[in-house]
Amino acid sequence: MSEVILEARGLERRFVTASPVFGEPTVVHAVSGVDLAVRQGETFAIVGESGCGKSTLARVLTRLIPASGGSVSYAGRDLSGLRPAEIRALRREVQFIFQDPFSSLNPRMTVGALIEEPLRTHKIGTKAERRARVAELLQRVGLPVQAATRYPHEFSGGQRQRIGIARALASGPKVVVGDEPVSALDVSIQAQVVNLLAELKEELGLTLVVIAHDLAVIRHMADRVAVMYLGEIVEQAPAHALFAAPRHPYTEALVWAIPLPDPGARRAQSRVAGELPNPTAPPSGCRFHPRCPYAIARCSAERPVLSAPDAEGRQVACHRAGELTLDGLASVQSARSDAARARFDLYRQAREAEATPD
Amino acid sequence: MSAAATDIATLPKRENRAWKKLRANPAALFGFVLVAFFIIIAVAAPILPIDSPIKTSWSAIRKAPSAAHWLGTDDIGRDILSRMIWGARASLLAGVISVAIAVALGVPLGVAAGYLRGWTDAAISRMTEALLAAPFLILAIALAAFLGPSLSNAMIAIGLSAMPVFIRLARAQTMDVLTEDYVESAHAVGVGPGALVWRYILPNIFPPILVQATLTIATAIIAEASLSFLGLGQQPPAPSWGSMLNVAKNFLDQAPWMALWPGLAIFLVVLGFNLVGDGLRDALDPRDI
C-alpha cells in the first residue's frame, strides 16, 4: 500500500450564519470530525448530496479556507501552522479545479496568461520556457495553441474546464483536488473531461481527490470513495466494494439512485425520503436516522463512529452495519421481474423477425 | 499542428480589439472628436491668430457677434473667442487634473479598504464619511481657501473633494470582486496580494471607475467655475469658462452671447468626455464582442 500524501484528522469547519446581539449565534457545522487519508497516486472520491459539506471539505483540505478544528497534513507536514507565504508556496504542489468553469476564470486575462499564472507565481522557468509550457499544456488538454491569445468567454463550458485543468496542472502539482469538476457540464462533455482527468492522472502520476454528487462519474474514476452525510463521513471503502455491496443505508440509497443502462432491471425509486435536515440543528444520534429505512431506537440516541478499517480497508459509521444486508449493484444483475423479462423477450423476437428478410 | 507552431510568441498578435471596437462606435468617436477638438485649440492657443484674451477695448463693450469679433465681446470689451480658446486650457486642466488627483488617491485607498478590511477599512471609511458629510462644493471652497487662491490649488481642492466618491466606489467594487470564484482560483494558484490587486482587482473594478471619472470631469469643470467666481480658481484677468459664465450671468438680458459660448463649450466638453467614457468602458470589456 502506497504512502499517505494528504491526511485529515478530526477536521472541523464551522460557519457562523447569524450572530444576533442577544442569544446564541447560529452555527453550521459544515465539516464535523472528518478523518481521511488519501494515498499517493490514487483517485479518492468524496460523494454526498448538495449541502453535505463536501465542497467545504475540499477547501479545508487544500487550505483555501482555514479549519476550525483538527488538522490537515500534506506529505507529513501539518498545514495549520503555516504562514500565508508558506501556504502560497504549497500551491505549487496542491492544486484545485473549480466547479463552475464560467465564473472561475478571470474574464480580463487571456487564456495564455491564465495558464501561465501558476508558473509566473512560483517563478518557474524563463519567459520563453513558460510560453512553451503553456502551448504544451493547451495541446495536452485538447485545445489549439491559438487559444492562448483569446479570452475565456470565447470558449464553451467544456473548453473552459479544460483551461481550468491546464491551469491546475501548469505548476506540476502532486495532488489535484477537483470540486465537482464536471457537474456544470453537459453529460456528453462530462465523459470527455472525466477521461481527460483519468489520462492525465496516469500520465503525470497525480493523486486526485474528486468531489461529486454524481456516483456514475465516481464509479468510473475512483479507487476509493468516502460517502459524506451532513458534514460527517459515514462510509469509506474501495470503489468497487462500495458500489457492489454498500454497508451504510445512505450509501445504499445513493447507489440505488444510479441509473442503469438496463431497462427494467429495477424500479426507479428512492430509498430515502425527505430533504437533508437543517445543518444548524443536526438530528440527535446518527444524523441519518430520520431518513433511514432501517433506523432503530438506538440510532436516535447514540451517535455511531466510523469503524476501524477491515481487511479490505472498509469503514462504516452505522450501528446496524453488522446485521444489515444492503443492496448494491451486485444484487441487481439481471434482476428483472418475470413480467419485464417476458416483455423484453417479445421485443427481441419482434426485432429479430424484422431483421430477417422475407 | 507542427512543433514549430507551438511557440506562443510566434502566434500572430491579434489586432487591438479595444481600438477596433472604439472605432466602430459612432457615439464614442463623436465624443473623441469633441474632446480632441477642445484639446487642440487649448494647446494651440498661443499660435492662433487671435486677440489677446485680456486686451480690453472701451469702444467694443458687450458687442454682439460680428466679423470683427466672431463670438462677440464681454463687459469690458475683451474678445470672447480669444477668451474661450485660452479659457479652454484652464477648464480642461481643471477637469482632467482634478479628476486624476481624485482617482489617483481615491482608488488605492478604496482598494486598500476593501481588500484589507479591519482597522484599515475602518480608518479609511470613517475619513471618507467625514469628507462626504460636507457638500462637495463647500468642501472644495474650504480646501481652496485653505490652500490659497490659484488655479493649481483649485485643482487640488476639487480633486480632494471628489476623492471620497472614488474611495467608496473602489471599496465596494473591490469587495464585490473578492467574492468572485476567479479570486478563489487565484488563491488556489498561490497568487500573492500584489498580483491579486494588479491582475484581478484593478482590471475588474476599472469600468465603473472610468464611468464615474468621466462624469466627475463635468462636475470638476463646473466646480472650477464656482471657485473662479469666488476668486479661488483661475485668477483674473486670465480666463476660464467658469469665470466667464459667472460674469455673464449679470448681463443675460443685454449680452446673452456672453453666457451662451462658455455654457455651450462646457456642455460639449462634458458630453464628449461622457461619450468617450461610455465607449471606452464597452471597448475595454473583453466579454463584449
DSSP string for residues in chain B: --GGGG-GGGSPPPP-HHHHHHHT-HHHHHHHHHHHHHHHHHHHGGGSS---TT---TTSTTPPS-SSSTT-B-TTS-BHHHHHHHHHHHHHHHHHHHHHHHHHHHHHHHHHHHHH-HHHHHHHHHHHHHHHHS-HHHHHHHHHHHH-SSHHHHHHHHHHHHHHHHHHHHHHHHHHHHTSHHHHHHHHHT--HHHIIIIIIHHHHHHHHHHHHHHHHHHHHHHHHHHHHTTSSSPTTS--HHHHHHHHGGGTTT-THHHHHHHHHHHHHHHHHHHHHHHHHHHT-TT--
pLDDT score, position A283: 86
Q: Do the chains contact at B188 and A96, CB–CB below 8 Å?
A: yes
pLDDT of residue B5: 44
Cβ A42 vs Cβ A6: under 8 Å: no
B3 has a chain A CB within 8 A of its CB: no
Is residue B2 within 8 angstroms of chain A, CB to CB? no
Report yes or no: A161 at the B interface, CB cutoff 8 Å.
no
Mutate to test the interface with A, among B6, B8, B13 (most CBs of A within 10 A): B8
CB B20 within 8 A of CB B29: no
A341 touches chain B (CB under 8 A): no
For B52, list phi and psi in degrees, rounded to 5. Answer: -65, 140
Test A64 with B190 for CB contact under 8 angstroms: no
* Sheet hosting strand A26-39, strand order edge to edge: A26-39, A4-18, A69-74, A77-78
pLDDT tens for each residue of chain B, 289 residues long = 444 445 666 666 565 667 777 778 888 899 989 999 999 999 988 888 777 887 777 777 777 787 777 788 887 878 888 898 998 988 888 889 999 999 999 999 999 999 999 999 999 999 999 999 999 989 999 999 999 888 899 999 999 999 999 999 999 999 999 999 999 999 999 999 999 999 999 999 988 898 889 888 878 888 888 888 788 888 878 888 888 888 888 888 888 888 899 889 988 998 898 888 888 878 877 765 4
Query: Average pLDDT over chain B, rounded to whole?
Result: 86
Could you tell me which chain A residue has the CA closest to the CA of B288? Answer: A153
B4 touches chain A (CB under 8 A): no
Residues of chain B in contact with residue A62, where contact means CB-CB under 8 angstroms, are 188
Q: How far is CA B225 from the centre of its chain?
A: 14
In sequence order, what are the residues at sequence separation of 6 or more whose Cβ sits closer than 8 angstroms to the Cβ of residue B16? none
How far is the C-alpha of A137 from the C-alpha of A147, rounded, in Å? 11
ipTM, interface predicted TM-score of the complex? 0.83
Report how far residue A4's alpha carbon sits from residue A44's, in angstroms, rounded to the nearest whole number: 12
| Structural class in CATH, domain B31-41+78-283 | mainly alpha
Report chain B residues whose CB lies below 8 A from the CB of A153.
286-287
A125, burial (CB in 10 Å: exposed 0-12, middle 13-18, buried 19+): middle
Looking at chain B, which residue has its C-alpha nearest residue A170?
B189
* pLDDT of amino acid A29: 84
Please, are residues B219 and B289 in contact by the beta-carbon 8 Å criterion?
no
Do B110 and B197 meet the contact criterion of CB atoms below 8 Å apart? no
pLDDT of B1:
42
Chain B touched by A307 (CB under 8 Å)? no
CB-defined contacts A:B, below 8 A: 102
Chain A residues whose beta carbon lies within 8 Å of the beta carbon of residue B190:
87-92, 118, 121-122, 171
Asked if B47 has any chain A CB less than 8 Å from its own CB, the reply is no
| Contact residues, chain B, for A121 at CB < 8 Å | 189-192, 195
Walk along chain A (358 residues) and give the pLDDT tens digit of each residue: 578 899 999 898 988 887 788 888 888 888 888 899 999 999 999 998 887 888 899 999 998 988 888 899 998 888 888 888 888 889 999 999 999 888 999 998 999 999 999 999 999 989 999 999 999 999 999 999 999 999 998 899 889 999 999 999 999 999 999 998 888 888 888 888 888 998 999 999 999 999 988 787 888 889 999 999 988 999 999 998 888 888 898 888 888 877 776 666 555 556 667 777 887 888 888 888 888 888 888 888 888 888 888 888 899 998 888 887 777 776 655 556 677 778 878 888 888 887 765 5
Looking at the DSSP bridge assignments, the partners of residue A236 are A226, A315
- Tell me whether B10 touches chain A (CB under 8 Å): no
- pLDDT at site A270: 61
Residue A164 forms contact with B (CB below 8 Å): yes
Chain B residue closest in CA terms to A113: B199
- Does A121 contact B192 at a Cβ distance shorter than 8 Å? yes
In the block, cell 480580463 appears at A108
> A77-78 and A26-39 as β-strands: parallel, antiparallel, unpaired?
unpaired
Please list every residue in chain B whose beta carbon sits closer than 8 Å to the beta carbon of residue A168. Answer: 188
> Grid coordinates representing A195?
477521461
Q: How far is B108 from chain A (nearest CA, A)?
A: 20
The minimum CA-CA distance between B114 and chain A, rounded to whole Å, is 19
Flag if A121 and B189 touch (Cβ within 8 Å).
Answer: yes
- pLDDT at position B11 is 65
The whole-angstrom distance between B268's CA and the closest CA on chain A is 32
